[in-house]
Amino acid sequence: MIYFNCDYNEGAHPKILERLGATNWEQTPGYGEDAYCEAAARLIREKCERADAAVHFLVGGTQTNLTAVTAVLRPYQGVVSADTGHINTHETGAIEACGHKVLAIPSADGKVTAAEVEALCTAHETDATHEHMVQPGMLYLSHPTEVGTLYTRAELEALRAVCTAHRLVLYLDGARLGYGLRAPGSDVTLPLLADLCDLFYIGGTKQGALFGEALVIANPALQKDFRYLIKQKGGMLAKGRLLGIQFQTLMEDDLYLTMSRHAIDQAQRIRCVCEEKGIQFAYPPQTNQLFLILPDEKIAALGKSYQLSPWGRADEEHSIVRVCTSWATKTEHVDALLRDLGDGKC
């Protein structure tokens, strides 16, 4: 059985394991105050071209999201998100458990537009009873989105302008950021994100680390006392150096982007065969997540050899399955899948 169901099926890039082994007996301070965390943070600041950014390392995505949202919002504020956003659908109400409503905008492609956010904010501000309603305080984007789609630089700039006009903090969830940065045709870069976002995170868990996300707080006004909240929310790893070592490894020699590129290349091969064979996609196949619309019997047949992720029905005879590649995807596994999809030449 070959797993294409998600991008966190394997462990970590061997260099990470090697580095963990090499440093194992070193004695370091705890809680992220070691030299590895500092080195990793420095590398990230450099790549973001933001010397004044604060960088924090957390263990996972839900933890990072809930900590960031809690740090930023006033108690009566909510976070605007596509209804498909991870914080709205797959975090068991973590944001609400921290006291905040997710103000969901219906989305067909995982994205929200500047016009939609503008309309939501204006509706709030002009409502005579706005004090009886949750005030929008933050915009949550994911890039790539939950369905693998990407924002363009122009779209992000327009969203930034709306956020500035309506005093929303702009937060970007980059759980799969590397796959977005290496997607063909994308004009989004780390310096751009550091410039447009108040804060965002660079995902590690789905990008070749054992675990870990690097939160970049680009806006100095939001940096104060953040470590108190990491601790309170249970995200301060005692052996914080594990996160520093992993991100240092990922950031050196562009390993992060190299690994991302591998996943994208493999995804493009699958996309190519699908297009040859006339297989439709439920969402534009831009990154490492592909949402294939296949006949139910084909899905059943594939299910004997491959673990795919069911994503709902398309019509009476077709369903959607998510196929994920990752930094760890083996070329021969994709070879096999392509054969079983119809033996294209990609």
Residues 238-267 that bind a second copy (CB under 8 A): 238-239, 242
Q: Is 116 helix (H, G, I), strand (E, B) or coil?
A: helix
Cβ atoms within 10 A of the Cβ of 2, count? 16
The single residue among 167, 231, 277, 313 that binds a second copy, judged by CB under 8 A, is 231
70 vs 186, beta carbon nearer a second copy = 70
* Interface map 33-62 toward a second copy (x if CB under 8 A): --------------------------xxxx
> Of 28 and 258, which has the nearer Cβ to a second copy?
28
Structure tokens at 312: 């709902």
Q: How far is the CB of 342 from a second copy (least distance, A)?
A: 24
81 within 8 A of 101, measured Cβ to Cβ: no
What is the spatial distance between Cα 321 and Cα 310, in angstroms, rounded to a whole number? 5
Q: Among the candidate windows 6-14, 184-192, 251-259, 265-273, which touches a second copy by CB under 8 A?
A: 6-14
For 200, what's the count of Cα atoms within 13 Å in the CB-facing half-sphere?
Answer: 29
What is the smallest separation between the CB atom of 93 and a second copy, expressed in angstroms? Answer: 4
- Write down the least CB distance from residue 137 to a second copy, Å: 10
Task: Please tell me whether residue 311 binds a second copy under the rule CB under 8 A.
Answer: no
Q: Which of these ranges, 7-15, 41-49, 146-154, 280-288, lies near a second copy under the rule CB under 8 A?
A: 7-15
Torsion over CA: 191, 192, 193, 198 (sign): positive
Q: How many residues bind a second copy (CB under 8 A)?
A: 76
Q: Indicate which single residue of 38, 39, 89, 298 sits in contact with a second copy (rule: CB under 8 A).
A: 89
Which residue among 180, 208, 235, 244 contacts a second copy (CB under 8 A)?
A: 235
List, in sequence order, the alpha helices (H) in the chain: 14-22, 35-48, 61-72, 86-89, 94-97, 114-126, 153-165, 177-181, 190-196, 226-232, 241-251, 255-277, 296-302, 331-341
User: Binding to a second copy by residue 92, rule CB under 8 A?
Assistant: yes
Report residue 22 as tokens. 């090499």
* Tally of residues, the chain: 346
Residues near 97 by beta carbon (within 8 Å), at least 6 away in sequence: 66
For a second copy, which stretch binds (CB under 8 A), given 128-136, 153-161, 282-290, 296-304? 128-136
Count of other CB atoms within 10 angstroms of residue 12: 23
Q: Is 151 in the site for a second copy (CB under 8 A)?
A: no
Q: How far is the CB of 343 from a second copy (least distance, A)?
A: 24
d(CA 84, CA 90): 9
134 lies in the site for a second copy, by CB under 8 A? yes
232 binds a second copy (CB under 8 A): yes
Kindly tell me which of 228 and 301 has the beta carbon lying closer to a second copy: 228
Report which DSSP code applies to 76.
T
Evaluate whether 174 touches 247 at the Cβ level (below 8 Å): no
Question: Looking at 42, 227, 261, 298, which residue binds a second copy (CB under 8 A)?
Answer: 227
Using the rule CB under 8 A, is 158 a contact of a second copy?
no
> Hey, which residues between 181 and 210 contact a second copy (CB under 8 A)?
205-206, 210
